[in-house]
Amino acid sequence: MTLKHQLILDNLTAGYRDKTILKNINIDISPGQITSIIGANACGKSTLLRTMSRLLTPYKGQVLLDGKSIHNAPTRQLAQTLGLLPQSPIAPEGITVGDLVSRGRHPHHGLMSRWSKTDDEAVAKALETTKTTELLDREVDELSGGQRQRVWIAMALAQETDILLLDEPTTFLDVAHQIEVLDLLVELNQSRGTTIVLVLHDLNLASRYSDQLIAMQQGQIFASGTPELVVTEDIIHTVFGLHSHIISDPISGAPMVLPIGRHKRVTSP
Amino acid sequence: MKNNVNATLSRIKYGRKQRSSRWNCLIVILCLLVMAAFSITLSLGQSFTSPTEVLKVLLGENVPGASFVVGHLRLPRAVISLLVGMSFGMAGVAFQIMLRNPLASPDIIGVSSGTTAAAVFAIIVLNMDGASVAFFSIVMGLLVAISIYALSYRNGAAGTRLILIGIGVSAMIESGIVYLLSQAPAWDRQEALRWLSGSVNSAQLHQALPLLISLLLFGGLLLSRTRDIEALRMGDDTAQSLGVRVGVTRIIVITSSVGLIAVGASITGPIAFVAFLSGPIAMRLIQNNGSLIIPSGLIGACLVMMGDYIGQFLLTSRYPVGVVTGALGAPYLIYLIIRVNRKGGSL
């Protein structure tokens, strides 16, 4: 896939019924890269992702995919390019992993079309990539949190979209599983060139695993760019209201935030 | 590596084949059950009519003794029960899936009583009959559905609130039905029972036509959307990101379910709990081996035919079918309310 899809947010203002949450958002998502949206609670991270994935229609402005507004595009066609893993997807009671992942093929089927070999192959590949092949016949209800999240990612992969949006894919996971999921996303990005946008809570993981960061504050983009540009003491202070000390992550070399609280300090300020 | 992929592929294929063959198998069993219930209704009542005699009557021959009993009494009952049961079963499960809650069936949240009230009003006050009654109750059913939806709408999410409001609306409408019935010039106990709990006692063969049309039209519409409706079970967000037009699918589910319920209820009344019970029973049987809509329709048909048979012949005195299905459904309703209270249920 040489042609990368362009996702551009053009002067977005969006929110829910009586409350405007996003104000005048302008940004180009870098194709073929991993972008994380970071920010304090209730700053509009998830709203931004929901608007980007056309779950929420903006009041003003538009989301352009290759120059065309996604809110007017045929939704099935769009779903072949743009995939989303919501924050809390629901697994139907008793569904097996194989069945759930197969449902990712939905946008590739019309009213009459039959299940084909291509579909099976896409499902097999998704299972392989997420290392969930062994779980194929298990019921989703009986999996551990980490396994379940991998299975949901497999479903999104079976959709075979060039752009994948994930809303806090690591919440509720312990640290080992968080790393596992993020490693998986990196592999996906490298092997398939998938453009990945995710909302992440953990600043240091976001900094380590992303090519680009979008730092949001009160519904606006406060800073965006590479982790080196965004993760600075000033920006972290403005966005999170937190004093910190930035060092270079000894593992990855990315900037790493050491929060400074009121207690537990070796030297007094 | 290549071998691994092939092994995975065949496991995926095997799983899919197994699911669909289980589904087919269960459908065949359910069809046999429906046929069995149908034949029992035709041949076994106060008197026994042999299968050969039943067949002769069905083929239009005049069999002394059997022709009246089978052709005039039992056949209309069986046919209307079958069609109404299918309508209610399909409509019920579509609502339950759409709102992801087994309590959200049209007979719990007031849609069924709304259509029934409209039918009673049209027949008793406006002196309408036939197609105009059905049309009137479809319109009213849609109005009730839309107003319940609107009353419970707050930032989209409409779960428990919708059900509670629906139960309230349902109670209000039912008191309206009782009032209308008490105003009726000729108070007839059978007639009243039909509108309050549903009955096929006054079934006539010509009523099958509107039911058949509604099943083909609205049922067909639901079936054409099976895959989208199934995707709704994973949540609206996931469904939409899989390319389902959630809004459109909802409108289709509401319209066709209300259509199915309204046409059925305008003939037999709201046979209690058939819409409510069919979906969960189908869910237990089918599990995740395929779509629930057709199985739920077949189970609805079984419930109405068996319920009617039990009400007619197996109890101390004769009861309309709605009393029997109501007695079956009530304990399940209590069980569900307890369970939903504890952990929040889904279908």
B207 in a structural domain: yes
- B24 Cα to chain A: minimum distance (Å): 17
Work out the angle at residue A108's Cα, subtended by the Cα atoms of residues B10 and B15, and round it to the nearest 5 degrees: 25
- B259 Cα to chain A: minimum distance (Å): 22
Query: How many structural domains are present in chain B?
Result: 1
Distance (Å, whole) CA A119 – CA A129: 15
Nearest to A109 by CA among A74, A153, A155, A76: A76
Q: Band the pLDDT of A268: cuts 50, 70, 90.
A: low
Q: Do A86 and B5 touch (CB under 8 A)?
A: no
- Give residue-wise pLDDT tens across range A211-242: 999 999 999 999 999 999 999 999 999 999 99
B50 in a structural domain: yes
CA distances from B202 to B14, B113, B121, B191, B321 (A): 50, 19, 18, 9, 12
Kindly list the structural domains of chain A, giving each domain's residue range(s) and its CATH number in brackets, ordered by start. 1-81+161-180+189-228 (3.40.50.300), 93-160 (no CATH)
Backbone phi, psi, residue A255, to 5°: -65, 145
B14 in a structural domain: no
Would you call B338 exposed, middle or buried from its count of C-beta atoms within 10 A (0-12, 13-18, 19+)? exposed
Q: Does B183 touch chain A (CB under 8 A)?
A: no
Asked whether this complex has an ipTM greater than 0.90, the answer is: no
Q: Which residue of A103, A124, A128 is in closest CB contact with B231?
A: A103
Q: Which residue of B9, B155, B244 is in closest CB contact with A121?
A: B9
**A–B interface: beta-carbon pairs under 8 A:** 102
Q: Band the pLDDT of A2: cuts 50, 70, 90.
A: very low
Query: B23: helix, coil or strand?
Result: helix
The answer to whether the CB of B99 falls within 8 A of the CB of B224 is no
Helix (H) or strand (E) holding B111: helix B111-120
Q: Does B343 touch chain A (CB under 8 A)?
A: no
Given a cut of 80, whether residue B155 has pLDDT beyond it is no
Interface test with A, best of B14, B101, B221, B238 (most A CBs within 10 A): B238
CATH code for position B119: 1.10.3470.10
Work out the average pLDDT over B158-176: 85
Given a cut of 70, whether residue B143 has pLDDT beyond it is yes
| The residue to which tokens 């279908």 are assigned | B347
B13 in a structural domain: no
pLDDT at res. B347:
55
pLDDT at res. A3:
61
Mean pLDDT of chain B: 87
Give the N- to C-terminal CA distance of chain B in Å, as an integer: 39
Nearest to B167 by CA among B148, B154, B143: B148
Which residues in chain B touch residue A50, judged by CB atoms under 8 angstroms apart? 237
| Residue B116, domain extent | 33-343
B85 in a structural domain: yes
Q: Does B233 touch chain A (CB under 8 A)?
A: yes
Q: What's at A41, amino acid-wise?
A: N
pLDDT at res. B186:
65
Given a cut of 70, whether residue B128 has pLDDT beyond it is yes
Q: Which residue of B230, B235, B243 is in closest CB contact with A107?
A: B243
Nearest to B202 by CA among B76, B323, B318: B76
Work out the average pLDDT over A62-80: 91
Mean pLDDT of chain A: 91
- Give residue-wise pLDDT tens across range B228-274: 999 998 988 999 999 999 889 989 999 999 999 989 988 898 898 99
- B234 Cα to chain A: minimum distance (Å): 5
Interface test with A, best of B12, B222, B236 (most A CBs within 10 A): B12
Q: Does B242 touch chain A (CB under 8 A)?
A: yes
B296 in a structural domain: yes
